[in-house]
Homo-oligomer: A and B are copies of this chain.
Amino acid sequence: MSDNDLQRLFAALLHLDLPKSMASRLCALGGDVDIKCGAVAELDDPAVRFIVFVAEGVAKFVGHLGNDREQVVAFLLANDLTVFPRSDAVPYSLHGITDCRLFAFPADAFIRTIAADPDLAKAVCEHMFVAFDQSRDMSVLLGRKTAQERVATFLTSMAERIGKQNDDGVSLSLPISRREIADSLGLTIETVSRQFTELRELGIIDTNGRSDVTILDRLRIREVAALPC
């Protein structure tokens, strides 16, 4: 990883000019992590928490319960910043959904380093707070929403992240499979599939092939998702 790479990344992620000196100090800490599609990332030290930046591609954090029970706790898209979970209760791993390029900094050293620049510290924390809030929203979804609400919420949130406005509505090309959707929503693939079908029959979405979805009715999908309108 070069200082320039990092400066470009931070500019894209945080809308912030990283001073040269800070860039090189961070580079000294940082680890490039390249993950191939379908592979598991090997973070150097599983006992250390990492701050993860996504430069390219799509990845996921997965918690494991045994008996093939998996829960996706976050999808990471390009220009995301988040914290890789560390817990004595659940083992987590980081998987590439597509080939992807990440930067992982040991949290302790990273925080210590960026503290020298309050603007940078604020921008990084802001992103961590957003990720934290998403996790709380996920708890509400998983604890209290119905299958239909979960799928509608998922589509709404993906539309906000990667959707493109066009004539019919908002179109998105899902980079993730039904299994991964199910694993993130606490459902089975069959239930996810049935909910896609139902949303299509209700005229709220349209689908094309496995991954293309168009949200035809932005208001109604929010309603069905139990989101504030």
Q: Which residues of A approach B to under 8 Å, CB–CB? A: 49, 61, 63, 65-66, 69-71, 73-74, 83, 85-92, 107-108, 111-112, 114-118, 121-122, 125-126, 128-129, 131-140, 142-145, 153, 157, 183-186, 226-228
Contacts and interface: CB of A to CB of B under 8 A. Distances in A.
A112 to B, nearest CB: 5
A83 B132 contact: yes
Nearest 8 pairs of A and B residues by beta carbon: A143-B186, A142-B142, A63-B140, A71-B143, A85-B136, A115-B118, A115-B121, A135-B135
8 contacts: A66-B226, A71-B140, A71-B144, A85-B133, A107-B125, A135-B139, A139-B139, A143-B184
A87 B139 contact: no
Contacts of A61: 136
A83 B129 contact: yes
A48 to B, nearest CB: 11
A91 B227 CA distance: 10
A112 B122 contact: yes
Given A63-B137, A115-B115, A143-B184, 18 more contacts: A49-B129, A63-B139, A66-B226, A71-B140, A87-B134, A89-B140, A89-B228, A92-B136, A108-B126, A112-B122, A115-B118, A115-B121, A115-B122, A121-B121, A128-B128, A135-B135, A135-B139, A142-B142
Contacts of A70: 144
Contacts of A86: 129, 133
A139 B107 contact: no
A22 to B, nearest CB: 13
A116 B121 CA distance: 10
A192 to B, nearest CB: 13
A17 B227 CA distance: 44
Contact of A228 (B49, B91, B226): B91
